[in-house]
Structure 1
């Protein structure tokens, strides 16, 4: 009889220890997930066509938050930023603080030098063939300190720095690194 009681006590202790181990493991997993999501990476859903053909409506991305703790955004980066308190936008960095950005005859100029935009080749060819310019002339505009000038790749359908003005660097959430959905379109950005 003593053996049965001792055996039951041992089983109860093992059961309690196992439950406690599961609770600790789940707690650690939740804390790690929060740290990763807050400081390292975050998912983002592309909402709209302003970044076509580079990114399409409904694609899901992984955004690196860590990168801009190490370095500043640079031209060509595809970033997510807080446009309003309720809405984040995804756009391409065109110019950084102190640079002058201008568009003339569908050609982008940074500090007076023409910039190649290979990601727009398809759209520019289509615009020329149909007799219009892809991007209306603007500028020259000097980017203020602590801000960046951003534009969507779908220049005719993008609310970007041409409309909302330069974006404070402090509003940048992170850089788009990877398209993860749909599965047939997984790719690095």
Structure 2
């Protein structure tokens, strides 16, 4: 099979070489088509398996990311789709996952709880395994609610929005399964004045 493929490539190269000498215009058309096909194939592979652009759909991650706010453009993120094929989200990662409502939309939240951990919220303060959660450099908008305690199941994660009082998250729809993870948010690309790496 590999030998046949190599032969076809050699034949194609020879065809182009001959064409370049006999019909320059036709050669340039073939070159342009070949370049476009290669670029489209690479783009398809990259967006299917490696990265994608996601839109922040709601205001649940304010002030970290803007979405769903009238008068402000929803931020666009570059998402690493490859990373969670080999490892799992860590606490503090901003994760994109499939909507719990099965509506073909992606949601963006912060990973708070990993498998086997006990999550509890007391008057808006998050505790993981009975220790207060401190995320250095993360500005969280707390509410005064209580939740749990709950234990995160195997192959599942507990996700919260940074804007706790306006976030539909694991407190309401439950745990996010590993199979529903899309990827990790790396940085914002839009709007231009808010381009930055995410933490």
Please report the TM-score for the alignment, with normalisation by the length of structure 1: 0.85
Compared CA separation, residues 45 and 10, structure 1 to 2 (3 A): closer
Q: Which residue of 2 aligns with 1:74?
A: 90
- Give the 5 Å matches for 1:1-189: 13-57=23-67, 58-83=74-99, 84-118=102-136, 119-120=138-139, 123-124=141-142, 134-189=143-198
Q: Are the aligned partners of 2:20 and 2:27 in contact in 1 as well (CA < 8 Å)?
A: no
SS of match in other structure, 2:96:
strand
Where do 5+ consecutive residues of structure 2 fail to align? 1-18, 68-73
Aligned length: 171
Which protein shows a greater Rg?
1
Higher relative contact order (CA 8 A, sep 6+): 1
Compared CA separation, residues 135 and 88, structure 1 to 2 (3 A): farther
Where do 5+ consecutive residues of structure 1 fail to align? 1-8, 125-133
- Give how far 1:10 is off: 7.8
Q: Which residue of 2 aligns with 1:6?
A: none
Q: Which residue of 2 aligns with 1:5?
A: none
SS of match in other structure, 1:120:
coil
Please report the TM-score for the alignment, with normalisation by the length of structure 2: 0.81
Question: CA offsets, 1:15-68, max 9 Å, x none?
Answer: 111111111100000000001101111001111100001000101110111111
